[in-house]
Structure 1
Amino acid sequence: MELHKLSNGAQCHDTAKPMDERIPPEEEMFLQHKNDATRSPQFTDFEGKTSFGMSVFNLSNAIMGSGILGLSYAMSNTGIVLFLILLTCIACLSCYSVHLLLCSAGIVGIRAYEQLGLRAFGYPGKILAAVVITLHNIGAMSSYLFIVKYELPLVIQAFLGHRISSEDWFMNGNYLIVIVTVSIIFPLTLMKHLGYLGYTSGFSLTCMVFFLSAVIYKKFNTVCPLEAFGNYSVNLVDPEDTCNAKLFTINQETAYTIPILAFAFVCHPEVLPIYTELHNPTKKRMQNIGNVSILSMFIMYFLTAIFGYLTFYENTEAELLHTYNKMDPLDTLILCVRLAVLVAVTLTVPVVLFPIRRALQHLLFPEKPFNWARHIIIALCLLTAVNLLVILVPNIRDIFGIIGATTAPSLIFILPGLFYIRIIPTDLEPMNTRPKIQAACFTMLGFVFMIMSLTFIGLDWMSGENRSIGGH
């Protein structure tokens, strides 16, 4: 069996090794067979129809999250050079994580995160993977709908005039998220294949490019210091540093940057579903999709962070749009940007829902063929649960913090590393080989991130402060 060396020196098998006779029946039935149904499933037995470009749009849209609004604030607490170093490290680690997933999937012919858990650790591993994906993506979907709940009424008020009463029903965020869910999100979740969402993902990314363009434009059209804007209160603790960009900064908030950046690249539950529906699927082709998507988001993240930071410097707030709003609440461009961000996060919800539905189907109905009624009911139940969570819970910052601090490191670092160690046969790669050692170190790094994030949350709770370690 031919081995292909990757740029990081790790190796993996590009073709699937036939499964032995002891593999559970549900794994045997997972892939659709093109030829003889009696033979063991191979990794290329199922071929989707989604193009390379559409797959890049879907994966990029899965990576892109609400966390982009806090990257300028993160840069203000690290400095430009340190932020760039951390961003580069996290992006490279994410590419390596995708590599581990694809190697593990390719060696056993499996294209579902939960099935990898089953192969590596049996049924408990399958349950763990499904629960982690479900919790993380429900948290992500809730964060997107919270943006709709709080931002859409402000946009409506700005476009229709401030004379509108806040008592009007269309100014109630709870009603608005239900309307958006029923009219936009739910119909998109009814698509049978994730690949069909490539068009909406492309439009969502276009909205975020518009957001980035506005941030760049505002940098060159905003004076500093900001006393010229009557609505903006400038931090004058150290007036000499108000308009000076820092290359390196270490303060109390600096340690929060690593979890923020790590969570900003979470896309791993969507990698294997996108791989499943890829036309002409090969590991190299899917790895290229992952690399292009992560590189695109790396560029967008860095440009957003640096131009937002160079606009407000020490006055950058944790949510960049709020910073612009304080400067000029009636700015037409910023209002359009807020609307574009709302569209982007709304169109991202269906992409995030697909891995949850796949996880639940593999967990509850492992041997059942596709069924439209079940497909629709699961989507309806998930959206109902998320809407109720956003409506009934006034502040779920702590819930998001706990979920993010545990599920994000698990999805990026811990599970891919463990899957690789357990699934790649020791006769091909013994534990003392460099790829296995790298995977073990990668897994340990995930535990370090998890402990660090949980420690920050605990310190916040004890101090009574309301910092956020970021969200996806």
Structure 2
Amino acid sequence: MEMQKQSNGNHHGDFAHLEGGVKPEGEKFLPQKSNGTKTPQFTDFEGKTSFGMSVFNLSNAIMGSGILGLSYAMSNTGIVLFLILLTCIACLSSYSIHLLLRSAGIVGIRAYEQLGLRAFGHPGKILAAVIITLHNIGAMSSYLFIVKYELPLVIQAFLGQTSTSEDWFMNGNYLIIIVSVCIILPLALMKHLGMSLTNNRWVIYKRFNIACPLEAFGNFSVNSTIPEDTCTAKFFTINQETAYTIPILAFAFVCHPEVLPIYTELRNPTKRRMQNIGNLSILGMFVMYLLTAIFGYFTFYENTEAELLHTYSKVDPLDTLILCVRLAVLVAVTLTVPVVLFPIRRALLQLLFPEKPFHWIRHIAIAVCLLFAVNLLVILVPNIRDIFGIIGATTAPSLIFILPGLFYIRIVPKDQEPMSSRPKVQAACFTALGFIFMTMSLTFIVLDWMSGVKRSGGGH
């Protein structure tokens, strides 16, 4: 689950010297010596990672908590519309990687923030760092939301209870504070931290073990009136919550700050080779996302919640398979939070204390403040859907669409590609599309909030 988030920070020291001067325009990313051997262009670092491992690393960077919201997105768009939107976001993400690699190849820069520096100077670097930081804070919040939702159900299962109680140890807000203090904070205080993909086969398996209409555990009556279309899959659906679909999909495909560090570590790096890695990673996640969304939706249909795993508690809170999945997901997201916290802290240290050496007080204080802020956010925000929506409507379009397009337009020299050239026009349209997505998504989400209508969207 987004295991490569820390990569964006780990390489900053390797190429910090680039901020003072940029390599000549048009210089190749890793030029060839006359004898045919390759030498790194900017440092003495040469990548050792294989093609297959790079695909795995980028797939890990793509995959995150957004996968749990895909079935909910499908339930509010229908199968065909969801497939169209998923395909569009995947293709656009691949094109975005192309823009980043092209920009990086021209100026010899291997980090997202440094591209911002090269394109717009120091304000560009700060903007890129702030957007990445906010996106990672959103990712941390979504992970703690999963802890808030799922840990009470795990405790309930171990106690053999089939309904929730009012005990403090069943309150998700108390539990995320305890987990943050006892597990996440000690890991976040380490100086270095270095984790794996969950799979979706359980979603496919449970699809064939849960009957429709849904028989709510311990509260099902054969005389209940059930609408005829309850178990009918819809091909096209438009409602107020459809507004969350594009943000959820965009949130699920963000990996772009990790593309250049993975490119750096690649053995025999070329633009085409790295583009193939990006295409394979996105294709693999596309298939996994589609399977998860379809089988989750075909299990619960209109009853699908914003956090898919929580929906299974309606069936049988004591189900052994779901309990094992919950435990695995809880371990994964709990250990991922400090991994995501590391690059956030590093970015804040570079922005607030750029010339200061490592100091334990700053190291600890930033971790504590970040965890406090994220815990407060998770306690106050009622629904993980809102985290998916806001982050997916703001930072995700910025990282996928807006910034890569702007970097490309600014970095590629006009004598090579004038502004009227097709690649520059495509990049400009791509950037404009990002602004359109952001504006439309935020507008519809705000209108949904203002309506004040309470729906079964997974709020708990």
Q: 1:392 to 1:312 in 2, by over 3 A?
A: closer
Q: CA deviation at 1:299?
A: 1.0
Opposite residue 226 of structure 1, the aligned amino acid is L
The correspondence of residues 358-369 of structure 1 with structure 2, limited to 5 A, is: 359-360=347-348, 363=351
Aligned to 1:175: 178
Q: CA deviation at 1:276?
A: 2.9
CA contact under 8 A between 1:146 and 1:390: conserved in structure 2?
no
Q: Does 1:395 find its partner at 2:398?
A: no
Q: Does 1:289 find its partner at 2:289?
A: no
DSSP-derived class of the 1:253 partner: helix
Q: CA deviation at 1:307?
A: 0.5
Q: CA deviation at 1:46?
A: 3.4
CA contact under 8 A between 1:98 and 1:287: conserved in structure 2?
yes
The correspondence of residues 430-445 of structure 1 with structure 2, limited to 5 A, is: 430-445=418-433
Within the candidate set 314, 339, 351, 2:302 is matched to 314
Q: 1:229 to 1:469 in 2, by over 3 A?
A: closer
Q: Does 1:110 find its partner at 2:109?
A: yes
Hey, what's the Cα distance between the residues in 2 that align with 1:279 and 1:363?
32
CA deviation vs aligned residue, 1:119-178 (integer Å, no higher than 9, x gap): 111111111111111111112112212322442243133224449983459973311222
Hey, what's the Cα distance between the residues in 1 that align with 2:185 and 2:229?
48
Q: Does 1:241 find its partner at 2:233?
A: no
Gaps of 5+ in 1: 1-22, 36-40, 192-196
Q: CA deviation at 1:55?
A: 3.0
Within the candidate set 258, 265, 281, 1:277 is matched to 265
Aligned to 2:167: 166
DSSP-derived class of the 2:231 partner: coil
- Greater displacement, 165-174 / 436-445: 165-174
Hey, what's the Cα distance between the residues in 1 that align with 2:365 and 2:273?
35
Q: 1:138 to 1:451 in 2, by over 3 A?
A: same
Q: CA deviation at 1:456?
A: 1.9
The correspondence of residues 304-383 of structure 1 with structure 2, limited to 5 A, is: 304-357=292-345, 359-360=347-348, 363=351, 373=358, 380-383=364-367
Q: 1:240 to 1:402 in 2, by over 3 A?
A: closer
Aligned to 2:403: 415
Aligned to 2:77: 78
DSSP-derived class of the 1:427 partner: coil
Within the candidate set 370, 385, 389, 1:386 is matched to 370
Within the candidate set 271, 283, 286, 1:298 is matched to 286
CA contact under 8 A between 1:44 and 1:281: conserved in structure 2?
no
Hey, what's the Cα distance between the residues in 1 that align with 2:361 and 2:273?
34
Hey, what's the Cα distance between the residues in 1 that align with 2:182 and 2:49?
30
Hey, what's the Cα distance between the residues in 2 that align with 1:467 and 1:442?
34
CA deviation vs aligned residue, 1:372-407 (integer Å, no higher than 9, x gap): x46x77764553233202333422366775454221
The correspondence of residues 457-472 of structure 1 with structure 2, limited to 5 A, is: 457-465=445-453
Within the candidate set 225, 230, 239, 1:251 is matched to 239
Q: 1:347 to 1:155 in 2, by over 3 A?
A: same
Q: Does 1:131 find its partner at 2:119?
A: no
Q: CA deviation at 1:354?
A: 5.0
Q: CA deviation at 1:280?
A: 3.2
Hey, what's the Cα distance between the residues in 2 that align with 1:331 and 1:379?
42
Hey, what's the Cα distance between the residues in 1 that align with 2:91 and 2:30?
33
Q: Does 1:25 find its partner at 2:27?
A: no
CA contact under 8 A between 1:104 and 1:420: conserved in structure 2?
yes
Q: CA deviation at 1:320?
A: 1.4
Q: 1:281 to 1:411 in 2, by over 3 A?
A: same
Q: 1:272 to 1:360 in 2, by over 3 A?
A: farther
Identity of aligned residues (%): 75
Q: Number of residue pairs matched?
A: 422
Aligned to 1:16: none
Q: Does 1:190 find its partner at 2:192?
A: yes
Q: CA deviation at 1:366?
A: 6.2
CA contact under 8 A between 1:114 and 1:359: conserved in structure 2?
no
Q: 1:468 to 1:364 in 2, by over 3 A?
A: farther
CA contact under 8 A between 1:169 and 1:175: conserved in structure 2?
no
Q: CA deviation at 1:97?
A: 0.6
Name the TM-score, length of structure 2 as normaliser. Answer: 0.81
Hey, what's the Cα distance between the residues in 2 that align with 1:319 and 1:86?
20
DSSP-derived class of the 2:103 partner: helix
Opposite residue 255 of structure 2, the aligned amino acid is C
Opposite residue 322 of structure 1, the aligned amino acid is H
CA contact under 8 A between 2:113 and 2:128: conserved in structure 1?
yes
C-alpha RMSD of matched pairs (Å)? 3.6
CA contact under 8 A between 1:62 and 1:351: conserved in structure 2?
no
DSSP-derived class of the 2:138 partner: helix
Opposite residue 380 of structure 2, the aligned amino acid is N
Aligned to 2:213: 225
Q: 1:281 to 1:469 in 2, by over 3 A?
A: farther
Aligned to 1:92: 91
Name the TM-score, length of structure 1 as normaliser. Answer: 0.79
Q: CA deviation at 1:54?
A: 3.5
Hey, what's the Cα distance between the residues in 2 that align with 1:449 and 1:322?
29
- Greater displacement, 273-282 / 352-361: 352-361
Q: CA deviation at 1:413?
A: 0.4
Hey, what's the Cα distance between the residues in 1 that align with 2:104 and 2:362?
26
Q: 1:449 to 1:290 in 2, by over 3 A?
A: same
Hey, what's the Cα distance between the residues in 2 that align with 1:383 and 1:249?
43
Opposite residue 180 of structure 2, the aligned amino acid is I
CA deviation vs aligned residue, 1:181-217 (integer Å, no higher than 9, x gap): 1455655x714xxxxx4xx23xxx1xx21xx111111
Q: 1:233 to 1:318 in 2, by over 3 A?
A: farther
Hey, what's the Cα distance between the residues in 1 that align with 2:453 and 2:373?
23
Q: Does 1:59 find its partner at 2:58?
A: yes
DSSP-derived class of the 1:223 partner: coil
Q: CA deviation at 1:365?
A: 6.5
Aligned to 1:5: none
- Greater displacement, 433-442 / 147-156: 147-156
Q: CA deviation at 1:463?
A: 1.7
Opposite residue 25 of structure 1, the aligned amino acid is G
